[in-house]
Amino acid sequence: MQTKIAPSILSADFSVMGEAIKRLEKCGADLIHCDVMDGSFVEPITFGGQMIKNIRPLTKLPLDAHLMIEHPKTQIKFFAEAGADIITVHYKACAKISDTYLKETLELIKSYGVKCGAVVNPDVPVEKIYDVFPLCDMVLLMSVYPGYGGQKFIPEVLEKVKKAREYAIKIGRPDMDIEIDGGVTEENCAQIRAAGANVLVAGSTVFKSNDMAKTICNLKK
């Protein structure tokens, strides 16, 4: 399966975001990962749907909106209409509300013609979201605890990646995107790909590189 690199614009210079997006396109990025944080589900506040709306005319690359927010269902319409191509929501945020909230939110995303995905933190077993795998276009496994960039990769997550890929194959979805987010580097990317992840989110690794194109290429190898 082809490896796709999704640089996180949280690591970009917001004052020249347009230039950063164009540079990512030229350097071989496959998606643009947009980390949306509300200051409640996670401590930091980053940006909302307006950023997605502003970026949308600047690139043809898919916009991957990772919602680290409380009550995500209330925001789906705005992000879908802003131009997100895929919206992922956290199991933990949904489970606090009801047992069916995650499923309902994923169904709502798909009703807008947008791809959807479920996210689990490092301390959440991937089995918790097996019931929504058939709905998902992507499963996102956090390899750090969400909220801050530049954290070190948690290697125990690799076993969850293997389980996610095996289960996707078991239910007849071998082409499902398995995304990994947090601490991805040129040194550990081979392990991550071998475990079964095909979409790698990289923020600091890409934006702090002296040769962005080479770094993105190396992450895909």
Q: Which residues are catalytic?
A: 35, 181
DSSP bridge partners of 138: 117, 177
Residue with token string 């890409």: 206
8 A C-beta contact, residue 69 and residue 38: yes
Encode 54-123 in three state secondary structure: HHHHHCCCCEEEEEECCCHHHHHHHHHHHCCCEEEEEHHHHHCCCCCHHHHHHHHHHHCCCEEEEEECCC
